Structure 1
Amino acid sequence: MNHYDQIARHFESHIGALSLSVDIIAEVIGHAADNAAEAIFTEQKLFSCGIGADGANAILLSELLQRGVFRERPALPVIELVARHSVNASDGASWVSHQLQSLGQPGDMAIIFASGLPASGVQEISGALAARDIAGVWIGNSGKGIELTFPETSAATALALSSASAIALAELIDITAFGPLEG
């Protein structure tokens, strides 16, 4: 079996979807980065949320913000809410919703990676955001607040685009907080 063809199709699909989505990704991620930096500067909480496989992108974003991998700098505060061991997405969405209601306050911001989250989970988390007046940024799904969706893509491609979006978002937040990157 030749794995090259499968791997080539895999990456061609991701690259093609990314190139077709770059305009909307740039617009949405730009707004999200400005809002996230504002939340940090005004000492509001920034949550990075994900359920199931989407949890990997929530972890990626928080690691990039806390570790400063683009340059040496102080850590940026982010609270990671990841439900990756839930039996199903509904249980994970319930857990994230309860955490947002417990920890969230008006003016806080949540970035929710949700490409695999069903509508009921989106509604539950959106309800928690509304109840606590938390600004939401949805990556991979439509919910309350700013949203970045990847229609007509496979689940694997949606996760890859969410991952690329997490990296771009972290980089823009870093630039907003600490100025342009060198080199």
Structure 2
Amino acid sequence: MSLQDRIINHFSDSIQAQQDTMGNLCELIEYASQRLVSSLLNDRKIFTCGNGRSSASAQLLSSALLNQYERDRPSLPVIALSSDAVTLTGIANDHHFDEIFAKQLRALGQSGDILVVYCDSHNAANLGKAIAVAHDKDISVLALTGHNGGMVSPLLHELDIEIRVPSSSRAHIQEIHILITHCLCDLIDQQLFG
């Protein structure tokens, strides 16, 4: 296979994964945006977290809502639990890496907040601990996953939301998580600011 054929395959596979997601998950993405808006209208916060490249997606959501997505508007209360290197390494060093998000959520989270979890793989014990803390504090969970949902999916409660990208490719899951994040930001702006 030539290098150009590999490029064409990457684009074709990504387009197919996006079409599958669009066809299966539009209503769920809309519903997730409505739940996020409801939380914000009730003076609650959104927390985001993820590992590795999924951390970048979590920070993208936080930045777009805290600052702006495509237009200037008031800031929204969103906290990326994965963006403070001093806190993350301190918790990992003094306690355990599995606690890096949970410990922050215990201190900052309140009933009615929403935790948005990005997970593109199967192993994420620190996300599992954060989900457990969210449930203990009556914080809803919105999980963006892929493939079979990994270890995150079985931890979710009935009122939580899972947006599971129908792909087994981590790269395509990450690409679509970013696209879904852009959809959520646009829908939140539309509902709150017209």
**TM-score over 0.5 for the alignment?**
yes
Matched to 1:177, the amino acid is L
Q: Residue deviations 1:26-75, cap 9 Å, x none?
A: 12211111111111111111112222110111111112212323222122
Kept after mapping to 1: 8 A contact 2:17/2:166:
no
The 5 A counterparts of 1:170-181 are: 170-179=185-194
Amino acid at match of 1:146: I
**Counterpart in 2 of 1:71?**
71
> Is 1:168 the equivalent of 2:183?
yes
Counterpart CA distance in 2 for 1:11 and 1:83 is 30
Contact 1:50–1:82, Cα closer than 8 Å, also in 2: yes
Aligned-pair CA distance for 1:14 = 1.1
Counterpart-to-counterpart distance in 1, 2:144 and 2:98 = 15
- Counterpart of 2:170, as a letter, is A
Tell me if 1:135 matches 2:150.
no
For the pair 1:158 / 2:159, whether they are aligned, the reply is no
Q: Does structure 1 conserve the Cα–Cα contact (< 8 Å) formed by 2:45 and 2:113?
A: yes
Residue aligned with 1:72, SS: coil
Is the CA contact 1:139–1:162 (under 8 Å) kept in the aligned structure 2? yes
SS in 1 for 2:100: helix
Cα gap change, 1:93 to 1:150, in 2 (>3 Å): farther
Aligned position for 1:56: 56
Structure 2 residue identity aligned to 1:27 = E
Does residue 105 of structure 1 match 2:133?
no
- Partners of 1:94 and 1:124 within 8 A in 2: yes
1:148 lines up with 2:137 in the alignment: no
Cα distance, 1:138 vs. partner? 0.1
Q: Which amino acid aligns with 1:41?
A: L
Residue 137 of structure 1, CA deviation: 0.1
Is the contact made by 1:49 and 1:113 (CA closer than 8 Å) also made in structure 2? yes
Partner of 1:14: 14
Shift of 1:23: 3.2
Matched residue SS, 2:49: strand
Distance 1:105 1:82 in 2: 18
TM-score normalised by length of structure 1: 0.85
- Measured against aligned partners, the alpha-carbon deviations of 1:8-30 in whole angstroms (never above 9, x if no partner) come to 21121111011012133312211
For the aligned residue pairs, the C-alpha RMSD in angstroms reads 2.4
Structure 1 residues 66 and 83: CA distance shift in structure 2, 3 A: closer
Aligned length: 177
In 2, are the aligned partners of 1:49 and 1:111 still within 8 Å (CA)?
A: yes
Partner-residue secondary structure (3-state), 1:116: coil
Q: Deviations over 1:131-175 (max 9, x none)?
A: 111000000142421001124421111111111111111111111
Distance 1:93 1:146 in 2: 22
Alignment gaps of 5+ in structure 1:
none
